Chains A and B, each alone.
Chain A
Amino acid sequence: MEEENSDTRELSIEFTGSGSEYFGIWIVNILLTILTLGIYTAWAKVRTRKYFYNNTRMDGAIFDYHASPIAILKGWAIVVGVLIVQQVLSSINILYGLGLLLAIMAFIPWAMVRSRVFNLLNTSYRNVRFYFEREYKELYTIFLIAPLPIIVGYGLFFYVAISAESAEVTPDTGIMALAGVFILAGFVLLPYYLHRFYSFIITRSSFGRTPFENCSSAGAFYSIYLKAFGLGLLVGVAMMVVMGVSAGLADVADGVISVIMGVLAFVIYLIGIYYVIYFIEATKLNEIWGKTSIDGNRFISKLEPWGLMWVMLSNTVLIVITLGIYIPWAHVRMTRYRLNHLLIEVTGDMDNYIAKGHKEMGALGAELGDAMDFEISL
Chain B
Amino acid sequence: MSGISANYYDGQSSKRHAVSIQLDANGMLSIHGDSLSACYPLDEITMAYRIGKRVRMIKLSDGASLEAETTPELDAILDQTKQHKHQGLVHRLESKLKYIVMALLLTIAFAFGFLTWGVPALAKSVAFSLPVETQDYLGEGTMEVFDEYFMQPSKLDKTRQAAIEKRFQALISGLDERDRYELLFRDSEKMGANAFALPSGSIVLTDQFIALAENEKEIDSVLAHEIGHVHFRHSLRGAIQSSSAAVLIALMTGDVASMSSFAATLPTLLVNMNYSRQFETEADNYAKQLMKEKGIEFYHFARILTRLTASHDVADDDDSLNFLSSHPSTKERIKSFQ
Contact = CB atoms under 8 A, between A and B. Distances in A.
Nearest to B63: A127
Contact of A128 (B9, B52, B96, B104): B9
Interface in B13-27: 13-16, 18
Contacts of B9: 126-128
A25 B106 contact: no
B193 interface: no
Contact of B253 (A30, A355, A373): A30
Contacts of B44: none
Contacts of A325: 104
B107 A34 contact: yes
A355 B11 contact: yes
A320 interface: yes
B76 interface: no
Given A24-B95, A31-B107, A355 B13 contact: yes
Interface in A135-184: none
A327 B107 CA distance: 14
B106 A31 contact: yes
Given A30-B252, A354-B13, A323 B90 contact: no
Q: Classify chain B: how many residues form its interface, as a range.
A: 35 or more
Contact of A353 (B14, B106, B261): B14
Contacts of B158: none
B130 to A, nearest CB: 8
B64 A127 contact: yes
Interface stretch (B53-61, B222-230, B306-314, B328-336): B53-61
A268 interface: no
A351 B14 contact: yes
Interface string A31-66: 111100000000000011011001100001110101
Contacts of B260: 315-316, 319, 327, 330-331
A318 to B, nearest CB: 9
Interface string B56-96: 01000001110100000000000000000000001001111
Looking at B65, B254, B256, the one whose CB has the most chain A CB atoms below 10 A away is B254
A322 to B, nearest CB: 9
Given A127-B9, A327-B253, A355-B11, A62 B57 contact: yes
Given A1-B18, A315-B263, A355-B14, 18 more contacts: A23-B100, A24-B100, A26-B254, A31-B103, A34-B110, A47-B51, A61-B7, A62-B67, A64-B57, A125-B14, A127-B63, A127-B64, A127-B65, A316-B263, A319-B260, A320-B267, A323-B267, A351-B14
28 contacts: A25-B51, A27-B103, A28-B90, A28-B103, A30-B253, A34-B107, A34-B110, A47-B51, A47-B90, A50-B51, A51-B51, A54-B54, A61-B7, A62-B67, A124-B65, A126-B9, A312-B259, A319-B264, A320-B266, A323-B264, A324-B264, A350-B14, A351-B15, A352-B14, A352-B15, A353-B14, A355-B14, A373-B257
Interface of A: 1-2, 16-17, 21, 23-28, 30-34, 47-48, 50-51, 54-55, 60-62, 64, 66, 91, 124-128, 208, 312, 315-316, 319-320, 323-325, 327, 330-331, 350-355, 370, 373
Interface of B: 7, 9-16, 18, 47, 49, 51-55, 57, 63-65, 67, 90, 93-96, 99-100, 103-104, 106-107, 110, 129-130, 249, 252-261, 263-264, 266-267
